[in-house]
Chain A
Amino acid sequence: MTWSPALQEVIDEFSEIEDAMERLEILMDFAEEVDELPSDEWNEQNLVKGCQSRAHVVIEQRDGTIWMRAAADAKMVQGLMGILTIAINGMPPAKVLELTPDFVVEMGVLNTLTPSRSNGFRTMFDMIQKTVEEMS
């Protein structure tokens, strides 16, 4: 899989860090990249189900491109949302559907992509692609 230059830059940034805790600290900094979904827009439809933390994601299509707004109570989930924002915002739907979630393993921020209660990222990623698929 080849990534967009912006996402590749993020992957490279993580790959250079050897200390696992430092990687997580940088992951949390990516929370700033998220276009925040205000809490009054949180509802059952945009809730990421099966996630340990509370997470909401809204996907919108504008002028043929995909845009994401999101919020979560766990800082690392916010960081993952920030990286997803870099990965998909402003991309055409076809490109978003081509994306595979393994970049987070490559970054060394998650050790598994198997869906589970503690792996909200995979659930969130699948939810985003399903929404984009339904839109296109």
Chain B
Amino acid sequence: MSVRDDFPILARKVNGQSLVYLDNAATTQKPQVVITAMNDYYQNSNANVHRAVHTLAGEATEGYEECRTELKNWFNAERVIITSGTTESINLVAHSWARANLVAGDAIILTEMEHHSDIVPWQLLAQDIGVELRFVSLNEDLTLDMDAFKASLSGAKLVACVHTSNVLGIRNPIEKIIEMSHANGAKVLLDSAQAVPHEKINFSELGADFLACSAHKMCGPTGIGCLLVKEDSFNQMQPFMGGGDMIQTVTTAGSTYQDNEHKFEAGTPRIAEGIGWAAALKWLGKINLHDEHIRLLDIARWTADQIKNLPGMTVFGRHADGDSAVVSFIHDSIHPEDMARLLDAKGIAIRTGHHCAQPLMQRLGVEGTMRVSFYIYNDQEEAELFIETIRSIVERFA
């Protein structure tokens, strides 16, 4: 049995061809155990969580809270707030921590390679409370300019930084960023959406104050993610969304709140998704992510080299150790959208566009790129088929 056999979707045909799925940085496919766990919940245990005493409610609660336990173990984190994904996690920090702890004139440091989900929440906050946003520029090789980062730190209260770029695959020197930020009195929020599929993160050892990620980038369901929070920062957070489940008591005169993570999880949570994510984590736990990462990075390096050798192609990113298995590229005459449709005709799924990172596109001087991204079920054979196909497209259409 190979890993591929665990993913039923990989057996399907697209436009009469075997599916070659190279859009993993957007979302990964789901192993059968995840699909089965979610179906099983709806078929046998569906009930609302936390308060009822009947059997189904108990099973649902146990299944959902098992997700939190799995996450705490996976990331070695004390506080895990379950959210709808990375975007909500970052917005939660903006609303629950930043609003309560920052004032006009405080600086938030961002970078030119952020995803929109780590830009727009801060722009909204800046409009509301007058914090200053500073964007750290990139070096010629598209790595973060650490001198510029150092220079930006004066007066900074928060550094919100992408762990691994969704476009370039470049892993930022987050350990250094955390050390320098803390030395200057700034907290650190990591957008780790693209990092969690490729490295096992030890949140307590890493020392970041907040870490946001999504389940669907690591074989889990869509619609669920989490925010890991250090205890001292957790205690500085104020409730943001009000509703059921997050309270201790409610009277017409006012309310008191839960003191654990539920304080930030108002309303009925994503129960089936939590159960699915727990199943995904158990499944991923059997795989050596480090070895897989090295294998995938080798495929990405080979792919990047092959693309560079095709006439008219430009590849962005460096594919150094630790970077994710992502290759972004453009062709000087074939539009990304045309290339993606032609590849789709051959059953090959890639992503095109600005990848929700328009400031980075402006830095690269392009409107969008094509992007292929590999994950644990991809192999060298698929990369070779992809290269053979784009080579024939370039020969035919350039």
Contact = CB atoms under 8 A, between A and B. Distances in A.
Interface string B341-385: 110111000001100000000000001100000000000000000
Contact of B335 (A20, A24, A53, A118): A53
B338 interface: yes
Contacts of B335: 53, 73-76
Contacts of A77: 337
B353 A76 contact: no
A51 to B, nearest CB: 9
A81 B165 CA distance: 35
Contacts of B396: 25
B345 A52 contact: no
A21 interface: yes
A76 B337 CA distance: 8
A24 B353 contact: no
A60 B16 CA distance: 41
A77 B334 CA distance: 12
A49 interface: no
Contacts of A54: 367
B346 A21 contact: yes
B368 to A, nearest CB: 7
A130 interface: no
Contacts of B353: 52, 117-118
Contact of B15 (A20, A25, A53, A74): A20
Interface residues of B, number: 19
A21 B367 contact: no
Interface in B49-104: none
B368 A52 contact: yes
A25 B393 CA distance: 10
A74 B338 CA distance: 6
Nearest to B346: A21
Interface in A71-92: 73-77
Nearest to A27: B341
Nearest to B340: A118
B336 interface: yes
Contact of B352 (A19, A25, A28, A52): A52
B342 A21 contact: yes
Nearest to A110: B341
A52 B15 contact: no
Interface in B216-269: none
Contact of A24 (B336, B345, B352, B367): B345
Contacts of B342: 21, 24
Contact of A76 (B16, B338, B367, B368): B338
B341 A53 contact: no
A3 B136 CA distance: 55
Contacts of A20: 15-16, 344-346
Interface in B189-206: none
Nearest to B339: A74
Given A21-B346, A24-B342, A118 B337 contact: yes
B381 to A, nearest CB: 20
Nearest to A73: B335
Contacts of A75: 334-335, 338, 397
Query: Which of A19, A21, A75, A76 has most B Cβ within 10 Å?
Result: A21
For the complex of A and B, list the 3 residue pairs with the smallest distance between their C-beta atoms, beginning with the closest. Answer: A20-B345, A74-B335, A21-B345
Interface of A: 19-21, 23-25, 28, 52-54, 73-77, 117-118
9 contacts: A19-B345, A21-B342, A53-B335, A74-B338, A75-B397, A76-B338, A118-B340, A118-B352, A118-B353
Given A52-B352, A74-B338, A118-B353, 20 more contacts: A20-B345, A21-B342, A21-B345, A24-B341, A24-B342, A52-B336, A52-B337, A52-B368, A53-B335, A54-B367, A73-B335, A74-B336, A75-B334, A75-B338, A75-B397, A76-B335, A76-B341, A117-B353, A118-B337, A118-B340
